[in-house]
Structure 1
């Protein structure tokens, strides 16, 4: 952990909510002082693999096989995508220990916020979006470093790709064609690739163009005065003139001038046709006050994640409309006022908090002699001593450690050495992948890091079952096929204690036989 004890907004930190469970990993968003004088941190939650369901872990494994095969590889190493079931070449090169520890470094971002006491902070860590330009093994070389590429929704129990992915790496590089030789003609037809919208060498002078744009603004202001809906939204002449001076009016005027060959009289006749002046509106005018309020609320919640803003708040708006409105909204006085309010709130909040190093003994620490550190052959308290009862560390199988910690259910009597205990607290798993243990060599753990007791007896590892046989009659076998809709075999198999309606089955069989 970082020896610096100062924490500010934006820091990734370890939080301890239980003496036996791994640390929580959070990002500090705000530091607030409560009425009682204590400091609370508003944090963003990150989840580990052990925190999500088994079905989502399978989805994460499928996604992990992709970044294991892509991250850290150059363009010359990339091959065509293979079937997802097959193991990628890079994944095959990783050892079991590296794969095991990489899964401990993977986190899942969420948009869930919570407030935790700042005194529960146990140090800093580093969390980054998975970068395809870096090798995944680089995360193992750095202490207290994690990565994420998926977003977990604890409410909906879903796992999705992060929309904030930085598009770097060989997959997002442009294919640069070979350089043309001197005198070689270009095969591209420029007229098909682009459309000319303005001619800088037009016959009109800059003064004439400016005068035409002034006329276009005046026409736009007059059109808003005639429009009933515009007069409600913009009751004053000043606001109507300001709306008519925005880009949408100028773009329409310049496009009209270009389409009519820079003929001023012809372009003016199009601006004011026989039916009345042309009214051009942008997103700032099209949106109602309630829609603008909903947008500001969504922006406060999701930031610039316009897909989520559209999905949860403004589904009737297009994504283009929302993005265009956002950049216009940033030019308004409303945006400036909100920015000032946020700056004032930030000034009133705590900038930094200092948390002293936590050095209280952990309740899971095993005391060998009446609550004191054991000594071996008269050695001092810092000397290494063997685990009580000859038990080895559950992770690294070491027999000696400066201190031992109880791990798992109390009745299992499993222990971890100092190094493996700190790994468990930081990374949420055992340092070494589980492997078969010889009989009588101590406890072992399952693939889900749950201790499994091995007493050393072959009988303890096998569960005896009493065999029995069900003899079904021919009518019963026939009823299974004829009454599938009534019996629903799969459903009945999942609920073995729910009785089957035999009367309905008999009635169905009789009607089938009679027909």
Structure 2
């Protein structure tokens, strides 16, 4: 029974034609249509056969460079048959979404980002195991790496100053290096601060009720209240307390200026539930 249960996040096979290999997709959403059928919104993964020969050459070049960086000759030591099999285990992630009938699902598989510490042969040892390291854009016909890079140099890393000798004073102006954003020794008690944070969350919930885009993303009061309780709201509330010298009356007024309640929103609210 468990083998036939599919959830959001599962990697699955889809059949679209008896003459073609099974499609590999990741389930993003499962929705029931008006006629009672279940439809899956999925992320597309592409096989080597689905991309142009130019991009395949680019993918092979990326694989060779990765092998050199890893100083790993494992791929070169593999027999030709296993090399061929391994190429068929490579997929290309895309940002493309499509909707397919759930009745076309033909089982689960496993797809992982290529792990540089894992033996390549391990993908052949596991049934239904695939890997990817590049992202394919079907519209632009491009391949890009699916991870960032570490940049080195003065533009990207801070210069570490020499350790002070014993008895030597720090000649830097510390006031220019840091800014006080919170005073734990203020006149407010912990209970008063907690009460103010509850007020800030309430204002955040009301602000989402007034905002049209928020009401679409969080259609229920429960979801709006949860979004208003995120750290971004609490950080703003504590900033307002500090900026108003821990005067509760002035800080509450700052939460609700003349234009209406302040809406604090972070990046997480821009993501869908499946993301």
TM (normalized to structure 2)?
A: 0.58
Q: Determine if contact 2:75/2:120 at 8 Å carries over to the other structure.
A: no
Counterpart of 1:92 in structure 2 is: 76
Distance 2:124 2:79 in 1: 13
Aligned twin of 2:37: 38
Once the two structures are superposed, what CA deviation does each residue of 1:20-42 show, in whole Å capped at 9, x if it has no partner?
Answer: 21110011222223333332222
**Higher gyration radius (CA):** 1
Residues in 2 aligned to 1:131 and 1:166: alpha-carbon distance in whole angstroms: 15
Contact 2:136 2:142 in 1 (8 A): yes
Change (3 A) 1:137 1:252: farther
Task: Tell me, yes or no, if the aligned pair for 2:92 and 2:135 is still in contact at 8 Å.
Answer: yes
For residues 285-327 of structure 1, give each alpha carbon's deviation from its aligned partner in whole angstroms, at most 9, with x where no partner exists. Answer: 9xxxxxx9xxxxxxxxxxxxxxxxxxxxxxxxxxxxxxx9526
Map 1:130-141 to 2 at 5 A. 130-141=114-125
The structure 1 residue matched to 2:163, chosen from 188, 192, 207, is 188
Structure 1 residues 248, 128: closer, same or farther in 2, change over 3 A? Answer: same
C-alpha offsets along residues 4-33 of structure 1, whole Å, 9 cap, x if unaligned?
Answer: 222222211111111121110011222223
What is the match of residue 421 of structure 1? none
How many residues of Structure 1 are paired with residues of Structure 2 in the alignment? 209
Pairs within 5 Å for 1:134-173:
134-163=118-147
User: Which whole-Å CA distance do the structure 1 matches of 2:149 and 2:115 have between them?
Assistant: 8
Is residue 11–residue 108 contact of structure 2 (8 Å, CA) maintained in 1? yes
- C-alpha contact 2:46 2:94 (8 A) present in aligned 1: yes
Q: Give the secondary structure class of the aligned counterpart of 1:17.
A: coil
CA deviation after TM superposition for structure 1 residue 49, in Å: 0.9
Q: Name the counterpart of 2:266.
A: 326
SS at match of 1:133: coil
In the alignment, what sits opposite 2:185? 206
Partner of 2:213: none
Structure 1 portions without partners, runs of 5+: 72-77, 79-87, 168-185, 215-241, 255-280, 286-291, 293-323, 344-515
Q: Which has the higher strand share?
A: 2
TM-score (norm 1): 0.33
Contact 1:70 1:132 in 2 (8 A): no
Q: Residue 246 of structure 1 is aligned with which of 237, 243, 256?
A: 237
- Counting only pairs closer than 5 Å after superposition, residues 98-497 of structure 1 correspond to structure 2 as 98-163=82-147, 188-189=163-164, 195=177, 197=179, 206-207=185-186, 246-249=237-240, 326=266
**Structure-2 change in CA distance of 1:250 and 1:21 (3 Å):** same
Say whether the 8 Å CA contact 2:110–2:130 is kept in structure 1: yes
Per the alignment, in what secondary structure is the counterpart of residue 19 of structure 2? coil
SS in 2 for 1:149: strand
CA gap 1:139/1:251 in 2 versus in 1, 3 angstroms: farther
- Where structure 2 has 5 or more consecutive residues not aligned to the other structure, the ranges are 151-160, 194-232, 246-253, 258-262
1:462 equivalent in structure 2: none
Between the aligned partners of 2:126 and 2:149, the Cα distance in structure 1 is 22
SS in 2 for 1:98: helix
- The list of structure 1 runs, each at least 4 consecutive aligned residues, that deviate by more than 6 angstroms after superposition, is none
Matches within 5 A, 1:47-62: 47-62=46-61
